[in-house]
Structure 1
Amino acid sequence: MAALSAYRATTLDIHAHYYPERFIHALDHEGCACGCSVRHHEKGPIIDAGPLHAGPLARRFIDLDLRIADMDAQGVQAQALSLTQPMVYWAEAGLARRLSALFNDELVCASERYPDRLFGLAMLPVHAAAEAVAELQRIRRAPGICGIYMGTAIGDMDLSDESLLPVFEAIEDAGLPVFLHPLKVLGMGDRLKPWFLSNLLGNPFDTAVAAAHLAFSGVMDRFPGLDVVLPHGGGALPFLMGRLDHGSRIRPELKHLENGAMPYLKRFYYDTITHSDEALAFLIRAVGPDRVLMGSDYCFDMGYERPASVLDALELSHEDRAAILGGTARRLLSLPVTEPA
């Protein structure tokens, strides 16, 4: 228990999902107009929006008191709360804006209830750029809001789509980082449908595709102050960066990349969710410990129950360990940096 107490003073979980009760209620009562439904199961609500599905959602996703108790048991001092499937891109613009605003207001309430422990990554209806920018302006300085949450694709639209440029510009101007998360992933309806492959393979592949679109389209160069966090250790990106870089030097489709693809590897931040000591050690070597943030994927079964302990098998300096556990995330989210014990 002493070890957990030492962790707790320094840790921030960048990857923790939250479904407020009021958000689920709004999906149940308004979502049907756009094809979303909520089924009530004995194990928790089940949300369906077209091909996107979430649930049954255990009370831990919804109840903040249970969450705080879990955090105490895990040795986690703070979480950055984010939504996940089905997000809001399935809805028409007006409903998507209302759902985003409701979720963001619930983030503010959660942070006000636990001001040192819970912070929020805001949802924006980015498929409707004007609505997204308006909602961003409304909440950009709201208490506890410290970042933006976004899918690796927006419906069928890639992150390189020009309609998203005003949104990225507004996010950069607000000084808020973006945390990406897979949503409607490649192959989920066909080749990756069996054996949970849409998550096991689809999520990491989709993250790599999203990062490539941001880098190769020029979005990352156009907005040099835009910070983007990739989930699940960056998915396939860090391990395929050599191939991407080679291609960028020989293929005419990528001749606009004057310095190749490799420099973009360190334009992103990455969480620790790799499920492999060797993979996490490789990631830290490849991008540097100052680009890696502790994450848990709370509270899905594909996440970590003890997110701080995943560093135990690695040879890290005290400073690098403290940075990964929470120091870098706090700086990225513009939160007070807690000195390690």
Structure 2
Amino acid sequence: MDCTCCISPKRRRLLGTMAALAGGFASGLPNASARANATVKGESIDIHAHYYPESYCELVGSDGDKFGGKFTCDASTFSFQTPAGGLGPLPLKFIRIDERLADMDAFGVDVQALSLSVPMAYWADRAFNAKLATTWNTAASAVQVQHPTRFVVLATLPMLNAHDAIDELERASELPGVRGVYMGTNINNRDLDDPLFEPVFARIEQLDLPVFLHPQQTVGGARLTDFYLSNLLGNPFDTAIAGSHLILGGVMDRHPRLNVTLPHAGGALPILMGRIDAGWNVRPETRRLAQKPSSYLRRFNYDTVSHSGPVLDFLIQNIGIDRLVLGSDYCFDMGYEQPVTFLDRLELPPEQKNLILGGNAAQLLKI
């Protein structure tokens, strides 16, 4: 499927060339100057920034058609429709790197961690699931090769099959710029403590890669159809459900070095943790843990997409400033257009603000 509105043929050829070159680079080399600059300059690092490569979009609309996938594009927007959810119309700057860089410069963002969002790669059959993941990871890495000081990559995995997920994890972890793994708060309505995913988390832990979650196929159904509640409430509650399964399902106990970042400031999880602790005290089905659930809150990191200064203050006071990382949800309408200036709502000394802006993320992503 051709998408003439997105990227010129000349640019397409260039991206293809860079993708081919990517295999010849050692994974750490392109980021050497970025790591040095991050330490010296205190760069701002946005860990919640979505990217849709043209190759991924075209795959959804071509090979994905037989599975119910559809991709449309006009002069200024594009849209998806898949069994795992639809999006759009979305601005083309999700695809166009030059426009993205211009926004980053205007917003004071030095580095973005590129990630896939809805519809992710958890639909259709096993082979197409794997093809979606490899296509996205290769394209995102090619962008990082072109702009090694501006981007890192959070790889997506074909999580419908553990063997496929581990195969792609091994391949993607060697691509230039890959610094972590991105996955949904559920995988095709399977929660993250499902035994299917246990070997995947084990290998991620061995590779010492951080995991970043994002809501996918959220809870609520028809009751959240009106008023955009599927996003306004569905996203933060799905994040809370995912975090609860990771804790109560024993994933965090079985993988003590697994590092997980929750989106949208942890959603509803931090504010409801007192109730979850109360359940742990009285309900036998929650007592598989050695420690109370709230003790696991510092096992997670939390992005700043809260839309509330007091919520971030709550996280700082109750979990710790070293667990907050900058996020924008670029470039959805429910994200921050100015993620850096949003932090001005917090009365923090410069050294603490710099931790949130980039210091914590630089350590997490090994930048």
The residue that corresponds to 2:326 in the other structure is 294
Q: Distance in 2 between matches of 1:312 and 1:128?
A: 44
State the superposition RMSD in angstroms: 1.2
How far apart, CA to CA, are the structure 1 residues paired with 2:75 and 2:93?
Answer: 14
Out of 117, 120, 124, the position equivalent to 2:157 is 124
How far apart in 2 are the matches of 1:255 and 1:243?
14
TM-score, with structure 1 as normaliser: 0.94
Please state how far the C-alpha of 1:163 moved relative to its aligned partner: 0.6
SS at match of 2:342: helix
Q: Determine the structure 2 residue equivalent to 1:11.
A: 44
CA distance in 2, matches of 1:234, 1:250: 25
Cα distance in structure 2, aligned partners of 1:83 and 1:158: 19
**Cα-to-partner distance string for 1:220-259 (whole Å, 9 max, x where unaligned):** 1101111000000000011111111111111111122232
Report the alpha carbon displacement of residue 91 of structure 1 after superposing the two structures with TM: 2.1
Pairwise CA distance, 1:33: 2.2
Choose from 258, 262, 265 the match for 2:294. 262
8 Å Cα contact 2:42/2:359 also seen in 1: no
Q: Trace 1:67-146 onto structure 2 (pairs within 5 A).
A: 67-146=100-179
Asked if 1:191 is matched to 2:223, the reply is yes
Extract structure 1 runs of 4+ deviating beyond 2 A.
39-43
The equivalent residue for 1:333 is: 365
Counterpart of 1:165?
198
2:317 aligned residue:
285
Q: Quote the residue 1:272 is aligned against.
A: 304
1:193-245 Cα shifts (integer Å, max 9, x gaps): 11100000000000000000011010011011110000000000111111111
How far apart are residue 304 of structure 1 and its match?
0.6
Using the size of structure 2 for normalisation, the TM-score is 0.87
Residue pair 2:42, 2:354 contacting (<8 A) in 1 also: no
Identity score, percent: 48
Q: Aligned AA for 2:283?
A: R
Gaps of 5+ in 1: 1-7, 336-341
Letter of the 1:45 partner, please give it: F
Residue in 2 aligned with 1:4?
none
Determine the C-alpha separation between the residues in 1 that align with 2:131 and 2:258.
26
Match for residue 269 of structure 2? Answer: 237
**2:254 partner amino acid:** R
Alignment match, 2:187:
154
Aligned to 1:338: none
Q: Whole-Å Cα distance in 1 between the matches of residues 108 and 72 of structure 2?
A: 33
Contact 1:41 1:56 in 2 (8 A): no
Q: What is the CA–CA distance in structure 1 between the aligned matches of 2:162 and 2:76, rounded to whole Å?
A: 36
The Cα of 1:51 is off from its aligned counterpart by 5.0
Unaligned runs of 5+ in 2: 1-40
CA distance in structure 2 between the partners assigned to 1:51 and 1:178 by the alignment: 21
Q: Are 2:84 and 2:122, in contact at CA under 8 Å, matched by a contact in 1? A: no
Identify the residue that residue 6 of structure 2 maps to in structure 1.
none
- What letter matches 1:298 in structure 2? Y
